Amino acid sequence: MLQKLKFVPGFNKQATESGAEGQWTDGDYVRFRYGLPEKIGGWSQLTASEHTLPGAARASHTFQSLDGERYSAIGTSQGLFLFYGSAFYDISPLDTAITGCTLTTSSGAGTTITINKASHGLLVGRYITLSAVTVTGDSTLTAGILEKAYEILTVATDSFTIEASTAETGTGMTAAGAATVNPYYLVGPTTQTKGYGWGTYVWGDSTWGTERTISTVTLDPGNWSLDNYGQVLVATISNGKTFTWDAGASSPRSKRASQSTTDYVTTSNPTASMMTLVSDRDRHLFHIGTETTIGDTSTQDAMFIRFSNQEDLNSYTPTAINTAGTFRLDAGNEIRAAIAGKDYNLILTDTAAYIAQYVGPPYTFSIRQVGTNCGCMGMSSAIAANGAIYWMGNSGGFFRYDGTVKSIPCLVEDFVFNTDGDNLGINYVANKLIYAGHNSLYTEVNWFYAQDGSGQIDRCVTFNYGENVWTTSSLDRTTWTDANVFDTPYATDYVTTGTPIFPDILGLTNTYGASFLYGQETGTDQVNSAGTTSINAYIRSGDYDISSKKNMMGQSTGVVDFRGDGEYFMAVRRIIPDFKYLTGNAKMTLYVSSYPDQTAVSSPLGPFTVTTTTDKIDTRARGRLVSINIANDATGETWRYGTLRLDAQADGRR
């Protein structure tokens, strides 16, 4: 007898498999639309030459120039980059120049160049450019050959080495000639490390594993906050300085972000801020978790906020005739995130939520607390979506602000926040890696996080606010920007062992890995420099058991048997597949078990390949509990599943 099984949309991971009858309990790379499960869209690498960026991408922001040029800015642990057209541009700001350097070269050293400078303070892996190069003696190298970008390969107290593009074939130089070294600004490590100890000083020291007790150890991961002030990109290194890049300047893509961009100077900005935020309607630049005394990094206060004069990115001293100001929050230990809402800025500490709303002179902003016990995980774990702001809670759970702070009921909460049993719970030590992204094409908010034991993002939890359902997946994106400026969402994926292909830095290694930039929701597969790879999606239901209306011989009794769910084993002889759409093949598997604590196994003859012409599937499955799994495992395949019909009948009690 055919029976239709209906499933509630979304995952329920709070219940047991046998307790989640009529629900979906697990899956990967799936979403729900109109109540039905489907495979998510694919993604394609965006750059024409399939370039990858150095380090772990931790921030991204899309914006337009007044001329309609569309940009995606990406901040990594190694620098700041733009995607425009189909190419990357390096706009990383440069630190204070180191002058008075000399060069050592010899034909015996090949392409290795030694730069001599007493107490230079640079580290292995740091990027530099050389300028103002002069060559002396019998050297075949020229300024044109040497004035390029490099990765530092080895360091000594008074020298370091780089790899040139051309080998020395002359006698060379010994501590001769001259060069100016222009280091990229330090951003920070690719990982988040808790406390002092062995190996915490990850920035390029070749003596890994040496115990550190110095004050320069960086515990937080290298990060950026990115926003736009009209067509001007405002970029702040987390716990560092603020820079601008003007899309309206002459030949803008040939220029680097700096503190002295024409008309958008930031030299008077604080020099140590956790993040910055442009208050859109009133155009103030907020510095969050910043210095109480501008320019004195020792005064950085994790709860202190400073905002600029209106329409002025470089004026922070409050006067009687401007709107600059400061305030300090009191609930919590540190500000974790700040995000612009419709007509307010939501500021989240580790314990509370505040609203900063523009009211005009003389007070400029009204600051009020709107929530308690609703702290935020990290700087990028909050996102604005559909008129509300969503964030991942510091102690677990999820929250939404839409005029009031609300806790969002979540049927995958234990799976995300606990590590008991099969739960892939979060790594709380990597809380500042978490990245929230809005996918308005499918009314989804994604939180990408590192599971317990992992130092990098490798999991995703998704809330579909349109369908009011939750899903989880292994989609591992370190940043995500919604389809707004561009037609599809843009996202980055970090590969720890990848060697970056951009920028053109001589001696570039895979020390800090590489980040891919993808256009999401394109096609059915992953397409990148390695080729086309299948996205293997699946979804699995909770257990179904039978309430028999038949006697032990399978004959109808004409009355309902009230002896309970699971009283009888069932025999399944047919499956009637029902796909809303199916491209390529799908695989359906019946899993059966006798008791809830047993590991379910595939039924005989399964898994079953389903095509668009498959009417029915004949099988011989027997068990007290039955669940269904729908999957694909080849390129070019996608699907949306409908309903399930089983030809099942009671088949005894053992």
Q: Which domains does the chain have, with CATH numbers?
A: 2-40+537-650 (2.60.120), 98-183 (2.40.30.20)
Q: Determine the Cα–Cα distance for residues 374 and 372; give it in Å rounded to an integer.
A: 5
pLDDT at 363: 85
Residue 365: in which H helix or E strand, if any? Answer: strand 364-372
Tokens of 398: 């999820």
- Tokens 């806790």 belong to residue: 407
Judge contact between 346 and 405, C-beta under 8 A. no
Tokens of 284: 């103030």
Tokens of 273: 């801020």
Judge contact between 14 and 414, C-beta under 8 A. yes
pLDDT at 49: 87
Is residue 144 classed exposed, middle or buried when 0-12, 13-18 and 19+ CB atoms within 10 A define those classes? exposed
Which 3 state secondary structure label does DSSP give 253? helix
pLDDT at 654: 61
Tokens of 160: 């370091």
Q: Determine the Cα–Cα distance for residues 131 and 121; give it in Å rounded to an integer.
A: 18
Q: Which of 30, 57, 71 is nearest to 435 (CA)?
A: 57
Q: Which of 139, 193, 85, 87 is nearest to 431 (CA)?
A: 193
pLDDT beneath 70, residues of the chain: 194-218, 547-565, 652-654
Non-local CB neighbours of 592 within 8 Å, separated by 6+ positions: 600, 601, 602, 603, 621, 622, 623, 625, 626
pLDDT at 421: 87
Judge contact between 405 and 341, C-beta under 8 A. no
pLDDT at 335: 98
pLDDT at 215: 45
Q: Determine the Cα–Cα distance for residues 513 and 522; give it in Å rounded to an integer.
A: 25
Q: Determine the Cα–Cα distance for residues 494 and 191; give it in Å rounded to an integer.
A: 12
Q: Determine the Cα–Cα distance for residues 394 and 411; give it in Å rounded to an integer.
A: 18
Non-local CB neighbours of 596 within 8 Å, separated by 6+ positions: 16, 17, 18, 543, 625
Q: Determine the Cα–Cα distance for residues 59 and 646; give it in Å rounded to an integer.
A: 48
Question: Rounded to 5, what percent of the chain is helix, strand, coil?
Answer: 5, 45, 50
pLDDT at 564: 54
Helix (H), strand (E) counts: the chain: 2, 55
- Tokens 């702290």 belong to residue: 375
User: Which backbone phi and psi does 645 adopt, to 5 degrees?
Assistant: -120, 130
